[in-house]
Structure 1
Amino acid sequence: MTQPYHRTPDDAGAEALGTCPSAGREDFSMDIFEPHLEEITDDAVIVTDAAGVIRYLNQSAESMFQYSREQAIGASLDIIIPERLRERHWDGFHRAVAHGTSRHSGRLLAVPALRADGSQISVEFTVALLSNASGEVGAVRATLRDVTAQWQAQKEERASAGALKS
């Protein structure tokens, strides 16, 4: 039977984070992994402050959007949002931050996004509002995946199907 692993053996408030066959070993602690969890995923992760300024992005986000951390951190999310969608995005973003909830939480969304070179890609993403103990939203975390190839294949299939009907 596996044991739950905890942040550290001496952390009285540790939460069970899952199970692992090596749990309970004194040389194994989640502390060594936690700082790197966002970096070891193929999904892009972007965290903004409550104003929509990028405060963190992982290597996958750098690769997907072609911005280095130096370029992206401190910039507005506008760098990846197509201009025609910005007003709608910011209305929803500010409403979610103000109310501490988003109608999109837990839902997979699909939207176009921009790369540093101005090219457009299709992304699917989820958002999570990060709140303090009093419920005030201080940050927003998005997990994104590039689905451009799948979207393009579906578009071509629809075009082929339409041509066959004609």
Structure 2
Amino acid sequence: MTDLATFTAAALDQAGDGVIAIDRDGIIRVWSKACEAMFGHTAAEAIGQDVKIIIPPRLAEAHDRGFFGAMERGHLASDGRPRRTKGVRKDGSNVYVTMTFAMIVDADGAAIGSVAVAREDVREG
């Protein structure tokens, strides 16, 4: 039987949607294969980087307010509702994605990060 960590990694890499997890400092800790295809960064390039590598510069300040506010409050304003937004690929081009966010909490219920499931939105602009 495959160990849990190997099984989990395989499940993430074979999921059709992208999975990104960031710690409470906004650093990417999980980057699935679908994220590689969607944003152009390999896992080796993305993991350890600030999540702002996929956030357009004009949206970075709003992202920080929302994300760091959520870390302080311990909950997200979106409450798991899908949200369409713009991302930026490694080559600098824009990509529209629909993302669903959830908090990652520790055993005591304290916010330690966030996970997003991302699907490329093929609608124009």
User: Do the structures match in fold with TM over 0.5?
Assistant: yes
Of 85, 90, 111, which residue of structure 2 is paired with 1:137? 111
**Structure-1 separation of matches of 2:99 and 2:58:** 19
- After superposition, residues 15-164 of structure 1 pair within 5 angstroms as 31=4, 33-147=7-121, 149=122, 151-152=123-124
TM-score under structure 1 normalisation? Answer: 0.70
1:30: Cα distance to partner? Answer: 8.9
**Structure-1 separation of matches of 2:68 and 2:82:** 19
Structure 2 spans left out of the alignment, 5+ residues: none
Q: Aligned pairs, how many?
A: 124
- Give the percent of matched residue pairs that are identical in Structure 1 and Structure 2: 31
Give the match's secondary structure for 2:12. Answer: helix
Give the match's secondary structure for 1:70. Answer: helix
**Structure-2 separation of matches of 1:105 and 1:33:** 28
Q: Which amino acid aligns with 2:33?
A: Q
Q: Which amino acid aligns with 1:145?
A: R
Q: Which is strand-richer, 1 or 2?
A: 2
Q: Is the deviation greater in 30-39 or in 138-147?
A: 30-39
With over 3 angstroms needed to count, the CA separation of the structure-2 counterparts of 1:71 and 1:30, relative to structure 1, is closer
Structure 1 spans left out of the alignment, 5+ residues: 1-26, 156-166
1:105: Cα distance to partner? Answer: 2.3
Q: Which amino acid aligns with 1:93?
A: F
Q: Is the deviation greater in 116-125 or in 99-108?
A: 99-108
Give the match's secondary structure for 2:85. Answer: strand
Q: Which amino acid aligns with 1:101?
A: H
